[in-house]
Every structure is written in C-alpha cells, then in structure tokens.
Amino acid sequence: MSLRRVHVFESRSAAFQEDEVLQENIIIHAVKSERRPNWVTISTSSGKPNGEIIERVCPYSEIISPRDPDQFIHLMTDSLQDSMRQRISSFSDSLEKIGLTVSTGRVVDFRAKEFLVDEPEHGTAPLVYSCHFNGGFIDWPKTKSRKPNAIQINEQTQELLVPSAVYVLVKRFSTKEEKRRVVACIYDPKRIPAQFVGFENHLNYFHANGAGMTMNMAKGLAAFLNSTLVDGYFRQFSGHTQVNATDLRSLNYPTRLQLEALGQKIGNHFPEQDELDELIHKELF
C-alpha cells in the first residue's frame, strides 16, 4: 500500500463525546501499489462537526523516510513541525554511537507487591516512580505518597535492581493533551545515597551498557529530551499514550561532545522551558 492522504483529528474526545470515550482517530487513504507518489496530503480538523479543515501537501519521502528501517509515519501538519523535523534530522548520531542505550524499568509493582515498603528502612533500596520527578532531578523519598518509596533487597528482587549511578529517566505514559509528551529527569546518586535502586516499570532509563553516565552527559541528554524541539518532533510519529524505549531509540541525537557541552551549561536546577529551549538552540545549532 502507498499513502495518498491522511486526516488527523486533533481532539481524542470529540468523535465519541456522547459515550465519554477517549479515542485517537485517523483516516487514511492508500492505494494498493508498490509505486509511491511524490506527494501526500496531510489534513487536520478538530473532530467536531463542520470543523475547519487545514491541508498541507508534503513530499512522500518526508512522511516515510526511505532511510528509516522502521518505516515510521511522520505527520507534519504545519511548517513549524516541518522545521522541527529538519532540525532533528540534522543530528546524525544514534544512541549506540554516543555509547548509551535505553531500557524499561524492571520493577512491576503488582508482581513485587510483597517486597514493597512505604518508607525506606534498613535492607531496602530506593524505588523510583514518576511521582518522584521534580525540577529535572529525582526527589526521593516522597512523603504522603500513595506509591511505596522502597523495595526490599533480597534474592527475589536482586534482578529487579540496578547499581546506584547517574541515569536519565523518562516517563513511559503521556497523552497528546499533556503539555509535554517526553518528560526526562536525572537520578543523581549523590542526592540519594544507596547501593542499588529500582526503577518502576512505567519509566524508561538511559544507561551505558548497564552502568551510569557522567553528570554532564546526563544533564545534556535530559535537557535535549525535555526540549520543545523533541516534544514537537515526537508528536509527529507517536499517536499512542506511551513513550516506548523503541521510540526513544529511533530518535537522532546530538554528538556525545555536544551533549556534554550542553550539560556543562546547566547547574543544579534546570532552567525554565523558554530559557532551556534558547540554550539548546545556542549550543546545538
């Protein structure tokens, strides 16, 4: 099949409003043919009856890159998104090339329920959830939390834990209505003294073949992932409610030296979004 036209509804609630159902809706017109056209029409509307339809004609190679082995479909609905795609494409490094990989948190809490404790105590390791994200760094433990703060260290849980080191964590679940689809945070072992740590399954964590990374690298990587640039680009090919490790591996990244130099510009607290985006523009372009 080859695409001819794609229509995207901006709202997930309008089409099935009477049933109070959130559902991503998209209409695809494709032709059974191996021959691809030169152009594809991308159109958008709110999803409400008689809503305004905005159309944009894009080169086929920009919607599905011939160099992409996964054949992701990128839906660029305006010139700003096209600019974001071009900027991300200017980065040529993969995660592997910068010496990192990304995995999903190992602790599935309902399966390890008998080993979870509300507050840290002797013989336990920190257990990190998204509720511990705070200003770019993990803030642990969290008092008055509905989530447990620690997990017991024993033979049954050892394989669920990783050595305490510097990691970059990313929330796995987000929706298109949220302000940010990609939310990154740094686990700093200097702030959380522990030998091991557990990352809950709703998080992804970046690491260097099972080990941690330098703090400058972590700051640079977290800043890049938290940028408006990455958020806008990610929305072009991710219409579901998850930020999977596979999605994060598919991104183009700045070089290791660029990320470390960016990280050197960031102090103990991440700047506000506008300042962060300005810093990234200055350091990476």
- Residue 11 CB neighbours (<10 A): 17
* Each residue's pLDDT tens digit, 230-242: 999 898 877 667 8
Pick the range with the lowest mean pLDDT from 98-102, 177-181, 249-253. 177-181
d(CA 262, CA 251) in angstroms, rounded, equals 18
> Global pTM?
0.85
* Each residue's pLDDT tens digit, 151-175: 999 999 999 999 999 999 999 987 6
Average pLDDT of the chain is 91
Q: Domain spans of the chain?
A: 2-77, 101-284
Amino acid, res. 152:
Q
* Each residue's pLDDT tens digit, 97-141: 999 999 999 999 999 999 999 999 999 999 999 999 998 999 999
**DSSP letter for each residue of 96-119:** TTTT-EEEE-SB-TTTSGGGEESS
Q: Return the CATH number of the domain spanning residue range 101-284.
A: 3.90.220.20
